[in-house]
Structure 1
Amino acid sequence: MISFGFLTIRKHQEHEYATEMAKRASLYGIEMYRFTPLSIDPLTEKVNGEKFSHELQSWVSCMFDIPTFIYDRCFYHSDSRSKRSKPIVQWMKKRPDLIFLGNGFSSKWELYENLRVHPILSPYTVKTWRITSVHDVIEALKSNKNIILKPETGSQGKGMYCLKQTKHSLEIESTSKDIQMIKSKAELKAWAEKHLCSQSYICQPLLPLKNKYGQPFDLRLFLQKDEHGQWKERGRGIRIGEKETFIANVSSGATIISFKEWMNQIPEPKQVLINDGIDTIVTLLPSYLDETLSPLFEIGLDIGITDEGAVWILDINSKPGRKIVLETSPHEAENLYHAPLRYCRFLSEGVEVR
């Protein structure tokens, strides 16, 4: 049997997803486990986690070796558990006897550096700066009236800030909707030292990506590899954020409508332009990332679309959520449970499984 581990920061994270997957694991000759990085004994390297019992159709606590194949669903934040877990996962990824379904990205800056040199994808890439000091923020504001700061290793839209220049001050809004008015360089310096010292950030211009109601929106595409290691699109949907906010993440309260429904409101000539840009990105991007950074299993691709029909790559997430697929393409739900197992089976071919 192939040993397959579902790895999360906290116990029972994504419980329903892991359980539905585990119920189908025996169809592929797979024994499924779930565990956290902190459940690994550093001396014995044994794991105190859970194994799915096909007889009981439930999870059972047990000790086991670290599974050969690992589906990494760890999301890191600023809490102590995340900080202790991350180096353990990095250690696991360096072990030649362990195979991760996807290795993820080291940072958003690495992604940008990679995309901006691609002859076809670079025009779709938003100009990005690395922020390491308040001086970098000031220089970015000199070039752009409004900017967005994103944590270099962030996800789910957390920890982002929107900086807007008004006539007499600088307005800083967080994703938690807190707004602070800055009226001097000294105040900006104090704000930056407080908020930007704990992690690295990138900066991008605030693009005009709002609908006629003043709501921010973007297109999320969910891509996965199939049982042959080929990229497939599972679903796409438009995420619409709350009015007067600057992001459209589902975790921040965005609603979802189907891409087809949204496109039906767009004039046909502009539809052709938009579809051409999206098709170019979807065709080239996944395989390019595989070749130049690290092999991936799935991608959440966020695309911005302006009133003129210009298409921009806003973000790429190697650990995407599945809500877009479940709400816009519910017929794909079963595939979501099978896909990691099928890809694990694909990876196991030619590999000596212990």
Structure 2
Amino acid sequence: METIGVIARRLEDKPPFGKQTYFFEDMPLGDRSLPPVFFFSPLDWSPHQASIPGYTYAPARGKWQPCAHPLPRYIYDRFWARTPQDIAQVKALKAQVMAAGGNIQNPQALSDFARDKYRVFEFLRQQQLPTIDTLQLVPNQEEELGAFLDKYPMKKVFYIKANTGGQGRDIYILHQATQGFSIEWGNKVHVFTQASGLHAFLVQQLAHQTFIVQPRAHTARINGGSFDVRVLIQNYGNAQYHLGGMGVRVGPKGGFMSNLSLGATAMSFDDMVCYFQGVYSQDLSHLREKMTDLCLHTAHLLHQQYGDFVELGFDLLLNQDQQIQILEINARPARWLFTMIANASDHHPAQQAEFRRIRRASTGKFMHFFKQP
């Protein structure tokens, strides 16, 4: 079996790969029926070198072993680029892998698609899948912004966010009132009487970036906080897509974000269902199947465009009328949520054990994927 290369950023905090080190250490690396794995940073690769410095991990000894290896033909991408130089380096590495007849997961075209929120919205809209209406904010099109806001005369709040941003950063809150508009971010507020003035301000403020505008959805809330459901869809190879795990992220009371990196807490899907059954006084157990089916259907539609892929994370919203909407699609889904649910389940040993099992099982699916003939 050929060695699989896992690319990730080297970090001194919890070396060699920061928080992802925990993720990698959960992989079934001691299973000899699965391909061996070599971990390295693409920033350490050079097309002029015969081998790359990196690491292997020995689960039995719990130790990372520095080593060198030729560039593998199979790549599992867990690298987050920070600079244009990072992006160029990764693209050059992947080009060499593909030129050698290799396979990269997820496919670069799919990763680029998932990173672009507006492209995701356009795909969902064209496929008639439930999502939030979205406008791409571009210069010299203030009429489109005004027309978009006019579509929702009863909406008082809109969110403006970076088209390729993540983790809840770079979000502006737009308030629409009879007298005009106000926009806030951080501790700053600007007021406008006309949509044209608002558009000019945004284009100047958000220069060199592409942003999107979305009306605030009338979502259900848990204990006064926003929440979303993360659904992990994985693939053993040859389009064998299946549910890898589900969990819920709950933001602080009164807030509008549910990112774990910004202080959200974790909840199991069953606990969420129990909470809302108390709120609505009806059986909502069907939500698990309904959300899973929606994500599997979307995965198969994406497969038709991008071919086999190993995994995607779908972020879903639940409206106050119990309708489901797809908010985002993630090409490098983390497993931190499952760990947090397990850690919060001290008084529920069975649930704790189940989420630790889900995390461990989900980390190694790419090894099964590359093992497929």
Q: Does 1:142 align with 2:172?
A: no
Checking the alignment, whether the CA contact within 8 Å between 2:29 and 2:57 is kept in structure 1 is no
Q: 3-state DSSP class of the match of 2:329?
A: strand
Task: State the shift of 1:193 in Å.
Answer: 2.0
Matched position secondary structure for 1:52: strand
Deviates more, 1:122-131 or 1:182-191: 182-191
Secondary structure of 2:249's counterpart equals strand
Q: CA deviation at 1:181?
A: 2.6
The counterpart of 1:15, out of the listed 21, 29, 39, is 21
1:170 aligns with 2:181: yes
Judge which range, 296-305 or 264-273, deviates more. 264-273
Kept after mapping to 1: 8 A contact 2:225/2:251: yes
- 1:1-354 equivalences in 2 (<5 Å): 1-11=1-11, 12-13=17-18, 14-21=20-27, 24-44=29-49, 46-52=51-57, 57-77=62-82, 79=83, 82-88=86-92, 91=95, 94-103=98-107, 104-106=110-112, 107-118=116-127, 122-133=128-139, 135=142, 136-144=144-152, 145=155, 146-166=157-177, 168=179, 170-174=181-185, 177-183=186-192, 185-186=196-197, 189-195=200-206, 197-211=207-221, 213-226=223-236, 230-264=240-274, 265-266=276-277, 267=280, 269=282, 271=284, 274=287, 277-326=290-339, 327=341, 330=352, 331-339=354-362, 341-350=364-373
Cα distance in structure 1, aligned partners of 2:58 and 2:222: 52
> How many Å apart are 1:273 and its aligned residue?
7.2
Distance change (3 Å), C-alpha of 1:305 and 1:340: closer
Deviations 1:61-85 (A, max 9, x none): 33321122211112234x4664454
Structure 2 counterpart of 1:155, one-letter code: G
C-alpha change, 1:171 and 1:253, in structure 2 (3 Å) is: farther
- Equivalent AA in structure 2 for residue 194 of structure 1: Q
* TM-score w.r.t. length of structure 1: 0.82
SS of equivalent residue, structure 2 residue 49? coil
Hey, what's the Cα distance between the residues in 1 that align with 2:249 and 2:159? Answer: 18
Distance verdict in 2 for CA 1:39–1:302, change over 3 Å = same
Rounded Cα–Cα distance in structure 1 between residues aligned with 2:100 and 2:118:
27
Task: Give the superposition deviation at 1:292.
Answer: 2.1
Deviates more, 1:327-336 or 1:303-312: 327-336
**Partner SS for 1:217:** strand
Asked whether the 8 Å contact 1:37–1:88 carries over to 2, the reply is: no
Percent of aligned pairs with the same amino acid: 20
8 Å Cα contact 1:155-1:317 kept in structure 2: no
TM-align CA RMSD:
3.2
| 8 A Cα contact 1:24 1:338, kept in partner | no
Cα separation, partners in 2 of 1:138 and 1:82, compared to 1, 3 Å? farther
In the TM superposition, what is the alpha-carbon distance from 1:323 to its structure 2 partner?
2.5
What's the CA shift for 1:131?
A: 2.1
1:149 offset after TM fit, Å? 2.6
Q: Deviations over 1:147-182 (max 9, x none)?
A: 2233333333333333222455634344xx444333
| 8 Å CA contact retained: 1:51, 1:62 | yes
SS of the residue corresponding to residue 193 of structure 1 reads: helix
Q: 2 CA distance for matches of 1:309 and 1:37?
A: 44
Q: Aligned partners of 1:191, 1:132: CA distance in 2, in Å?
A: 9
Residues 278 and 311 of structure 1 are in contact (CA less than 8 Å); yes or no, is this contact kept in structure 2? yes
1:185-242 CA-to-partner distances (Å, cap 9, x unmatched) read 54652443232x3332333221112527542122222222247752232332222112
Structure 1 gaps of 5+ residues are none
AA at the equivalent of 2:134: T
Q: Give me the whole-angstrom Cα distance separating, in 2, the residues matched to 1:171 and 1:276.
A: 41
TM-score, with structure 2 as normaliser: 0.78
Structure 2 runs not aligned, ≥5 long: 12-16, 343-350
CA–CA separation in structure 2 for the residues paired with 1:305 and 1:3: 42
Corresponding residue pairs, total: 342
Change (3 A) 1:80 1:123: closer
Shift of 1:7: 0.9
Question: Residues 299 and 319 of structure 1 are in contact (CA less than 8 Å); yes or no, is this contact kept in structure 2?
Answer: yes
Indicate how the Cα distance of structure 1 residues 285 and 332 shifts in structure 2: closer, same or farther if over 3 A, else same: same
Q: Secondary structure at the match of 1:344?
A: helix
One-letter amino acid of the counterpart of residue 167, structure 2: Q
CA distance in 1, matches of 2:105, 2:318: 31
